[in-house]
Amino acid sequence: MGKSVSVWYLAAAVFLTIVWWIASEIVQLPIIPSPLLVAENMSDIFMDYIAIHSIYSLWRIAAGLLLAVVVGLPLGVIMGYFPKWDRFLSPLVYLTYPIPKIALLPILMLLFGVGESSKIIMIFLIILFQVVVAVRDGIRAIPRETLYPLYSLGAGFKDIFFEVLWPASLPKFITAIRVALATAISVLFFTETFGTRYGMGYFIMDAWLRVNYLEMYSGIVVLSLIGLVLFTTIDLIEQHACHWQYK
């Protein structure tokens, strides 16, 4: 990330903090504490209380994401490259894609318990469909002509995949993850209010129930920072892997 980009991130953070501070000054209620108090509280309790919760949340996101990529990427490639498979699989995807995944939570919790697996599978389901559709469309958009010189040299599927399919669908794949991740984080928050004593969702809801607004806000800020770290990581990966796009 360039220096100028970092400056804009900082500016956005400063702007949001000022808005927050003004709101707290106007309202003068414990439900909107001053950002200064929250910052103080956060530095006091981060290492002792919040860090473990954020690690739990990050682990669930990472596991769900990894699973979605491992399953979704090959599925998307197969559907994009082999029209016959697409004809069979597309209806399946389209029928299941619109189901709000959160509606499946009770079923997942009954089948996989209220612990880790149902939370990870939830994130997996949210990211999976976006990845499948994006990779498939990325591959479909490759002009057939582009492949002819490779076919005429006897290129096998392995060559075609690594030289064309993978790089061609990578930008769309990364975008899909970026879009799905935001939904995944909000749903994770919700799932973490059930059956766990760890995770940012649990921490924030617990602070709220204890009417400890300072801790609740600290949790919200940390959640937002987790999002920031995830998104900038994705941006960095994209800039590195797809730099040809920015020419």
The stretch near another protein (CB under 8 A) out of 18-26, 44-52, 99-107, 156-164 is 156-164
Q: Which amino acid is at 110?
A: L
Encoded one letter per residue, x for contact with another protein by CB under 8 A and - for no contact, window 206-245 reads ------------------------------------x-x-
Shortest Å, Cβ 139 to another protein = 14
CA distances in angstroms from 113 to 59, 79, 127, 189, 190, listed in the order given: 18, 32, 21, 17, 16
**How far apart are the C-alpha atoms of 60 and 63, rounded to whole Å?**
5
Closest of 111, 71, 115, 110 to residue 93, by C-alpha:
71
Q: Which is nearer to another protein, 77 or 120 (CB)?
A: 77
* Closest alpha carbon to 182 in 223, 137, 221: 223
Q: Which of residues 123-152 bind another protein (CB under 8 A)?
A: 143, 145-146, 148-152
Helix (H/G/I), strand (E/B), else coil: 195: coil
Question: What minimum distance in Å lies between the beta carbon of 65 and another protein?
Answer: 23
Total residues binding another protein (CB under 8 A) = 19
Instruction: Report the nearest approach of another protein to the CB of residue 163 (Å).
Output: 6
> What DSSP string runs through 16-79?
HHHHHHHHHHHH-STTS--HHHHHHHHHHHIIIIIHHHHHHHHHHHHHHHHHHHHHHHHHHHHH
Instruction: Give the pair of three-digit tokens for residue 172.
Output: 């769309």
Assigned token pair, 61: 């996101």
Min dist. Cβ of residue 103 to another protein (A): 39
| Min separation Cβ 246 and another protein, Å | 10
Q: Is 159 in the site for another protein (CB under 8 A)?
A: yes
Which of 3, 84, 240, 247 forms a contact with another protein (CB under 8 A)? 247
Q: Which stretch binds another protein (CB under 8 A): 50-58, 81-89, 112-120, 154-162?
A: 154-162
CB 50 within 8 A of CB 203: yes
Per-residue binding string, another protein, 162-201, x by CB under 8 A, is -xx--xx---------------------------------
Which residues here bind another protein, judged by CB under 8 A?
Answer: 143, 145-146, 148-155, 159, 163-164, 167-168, 242, 244, 247
